[in-house]
Amino acid sequence: MRKEAKDMDQGTTKTRVLIVDDHEVVRVGIRLLIDARADLTVCGEAASAAEAISAIGQLHPDVVLLDLDLGTSHGREVLRAVAEMSERPNVVVLSMADEAVHALQSLRGGAVGYVMKDTPPEQIIEAVRRAAQGQTYFSPSITAVAARHVTKTGRRDIQADLLSAREREVLDGMTRGLDFEAIGGEMGISPRTVDIHARNICRKLGLGGLMQLRHYALAEAQAGCSAARGSR
């Protein structure tokens, strides 16, 4: 575990990141990636759940990048410990498991983000920056899987966890092929307000823009049809 002083850059406090991974080569790579950004700095590293919990208490990081598979320990131990802390850092899970169910479990455990280890570097940086602001972030590959992840009741758990009721209404309208004007008419709001909700959905689900959101809505519609056929 490494301890470093709080960094300042021209009077602006940097977002302080703790890296938790049992592979040194991974920690080194992520450290280089983060320290290359003017607004971010690595304040410490840990290789196990026990080291991570101790480091969080000593270093008070803003964001923790957490690998769930820590060899002899598990990252969920860290999530449970963070949930009991009075001053909690925001946790972004790093994983090799490209499955929506793992992302949902991490979210319910207190994480605010879930990114793949093999994701492009800028997505990891984006996840850290959003976490520092208390915002959620999922790798686009996870949201694509989540669009097909339907529970037995037909409810998309990831949407229930991440989106507001109004945002879910907008997404529901999009899955039915409605344009923003038609959705606004149903909801009693302007097309411009629908557009704002749609862009908030993109941000929360880690989608790159309205085009990706339309593809997501199409996948939702297809998943819903498949679930309906399977229940007959």
34 plus 83 within the same structural domain: yes
20 is a domain residue: yes
Beta bridge partners of 66: 20, 93
Query: What is the predicted pLDDT for the residue at 112?
Result: 85
157 plus 120 within the same structural domain: no
Q: CATH no. for residue 128?
A: 3.40.50.2300
207 plus 151 within the same structural domain: yes
3 is a domain residue: no
- Cβ atoms 49, 74 nearer than 8 A: yes
DSSP code at position 36: T
The count of residues in the chain is 232
Query: What is the predicted pLDDT for the residue at 72?
Result: 81
Q: CATH no. for residue 195?
A: 1.10.10.10
2 is a domain residue: no
Please say which residue of 122, 139, 156 terminates a domain.
Answer: 139
Give which of 190, 192, 216 is closest to 203, Cα–Cα. 216
* Cα–chain center distance at 210: 19
- Cβ atoms 136, 162 nearer than 8 A: yes
Give the separation between CA 95 and CA 68, rounded to whole angstroms. 7
Provide the number of structural domains found in the chain. 2
116 plus 226 within the same structural domain: no
Domain of residue 213: give its range.
147-230
Four-CA torsion 153, 175, 228, 138, nearest 10 degrees: -50
Helix locations, 13-156, DSSP H: 24-35, 49-59, 75-83, 100-108, 121-132, 140-146
120 plus 153 within the same structural domain: no
17 plus 123 within the same structural domain: yes
- Cβ atoms 115, 63 nearer than 8 A: no
pLDDT tens, residue order, the chain (232 aa): 444 434 444 456 899 999 999 999 999 999 999 999 999 999 999 999 999 999 999 999 999 999 988 888 888 899 999 989 988 999 999 987 655 666 767 777 788 888 888 888 999 999 999 999 988 787 776 665 555 443 333 445 556 667 888 999 999 999 888 999 999 999 999 999 999 999 988 887 767 688 878 877 776 666 554 444 455 5
DSSP code at position 16: E
132 plus 153 within the same structural domain: no
203 is a domain residue: yes
pTM beyond 0.85: no
Number of other residues whose CB lies within 10 A of the CB of residue 74: 15
- Distances in Å between the alpha carbon of 168 and those of 25, 98, 183, 197, 223? 41, 24, 12, 9, 16
12 plus 75 within the same structural domain: yes
61 is a domain residue: yes
Please say which residue of 104, 139, 174 terminates a domain.
Answer: 139
Query: What is the predicted pLDDT for the residue at 82?
Result: 93
Please say which residue of 139, 166, 198 terminates a domain.
Answer: 139
